[in-house]
Structure 1
Amino acid sequence: MARADINWCDVGGRIVVIDVARDIYLQLPQHLVEAFNALRHGGARADGPANRFETLARIGLCDADLGRPAEPSHITVPAQDGPSPATGDVERRPLATGAAIVRIIAMRLAVRLIPLRLLIRWVRRLQSRPSMPMKPGRVAARAALFVQARQLVPARDTCLPDSMALLHFLRSRNMSCRLVLGVRLDPFEAHCWVQDHDMILGDTHERVACFTPILQL
């Protein structure tokens, strides 16, 4: 079967792959896109040059026998941002703000020092903890507090560590949420954000809507 640490998505007919173990993104050339689509729809006996299918197996998109190709990512991006917190919900809370800043700084360091596969393993362990249903306003208020804390430690290109920090900040209160990685092309760009079932947290729909989700944790 396909490797468990391989995920892919279709961006306008082009196939983008994230290889978690190697911490890289790949865009399949057109001849491999055609071979992969033939394999998905025609099975192991799909027609085409054998070396193309062998390349797909080496990438990890199918097994050596060309069976059970990797399934695409089925992730829905919420159509709205989180609701605005009620007045007074985002007053200054030194302890909570400090906790958010500590998580932000720690995750920014962790992303520099720790391989992506280990960070993802940590996120999956974090997500294995029980969660409790929360009112949207409460979740939005805590996310808004995190955004305020993030503004105190500004930096560029920190969507991955900051999203991981937000995930941990929310899950520490047993709030349910998911970490999503997305990609876009022309030029290539990857982005990371946190979402609940029906709302985006700590980011905006306007920003994330131009990305195709490739991995959800």
Structure 2
Amino acid sequence: MEQPLIEITADGSPTLYLPKMDEHYHSVKGALAESLHVFIQTGFRHSILCPLTIFEVGFGTGLNAFLTLLESETSQRKVTYYTIELYPLSTEQVNMLQYPQIIAPENTFYFEAIHQAEWNTPIKISPYFTIHKIKGDLTRISLPSESFGLIYYDAFAPEKQPDMWSEEIFSKISDAMSPGGILTTYCAKGEVRRRLQQSGLTVERLPGPPGGKREILRATKL
């Protein structure tokens, strides 16, 4: 993986940019705003499951994991958070983003603990949040059936990583979702919506984050 560059997005929060891939880790319209809207508001707060088991596709900078930990502490809701990443960032790259200082300086130690957590084993970060980081390729691993109540689908865009948005992948994800489970993603492309539907999920288009994408998707396993 090439060395990413730091860029400041429209809401003042930073993201990473991969020049050769011409891809950002978050929306340039607002990295923090996107994560809060797509994954916390539309996903975590919408789910009624408790305790909640989450599977995040694309650990990346750890922003979604950190926001989820903070939300789990606030709501006192126990979360087991699985996340997969093939190309983990270095500690130096992550620290340069300064997410804890922007979001919750008093909880910097939680952000550090998430990134320092050993890979491929469950690590309890707080009384309400346990993380299990998987270093691997989603297209090559198996997932347990009916195990996840919430999916954060945060892979790079379909035109950059088409194999991560295939009907085969979504069928694998659908099989791994528990009844009543939901999936949220920033991508609202028609082909993505149709593939989610073909995998047996009920899909709805929802408004995107303020100042960002017009629409996002939420899919439910009935």
TM-score where L is the length of structure 1: 0.24
Greater length-normalized contact order (CA 8 Å, ≥ 6 residues apart): 1
Question: Rg: which structure is higher?
Answer: 1
Question: What TM-score does the superposition give when structure 2 sets the normalisation length?
Answer: 0.23
Higher strand proportion: 2
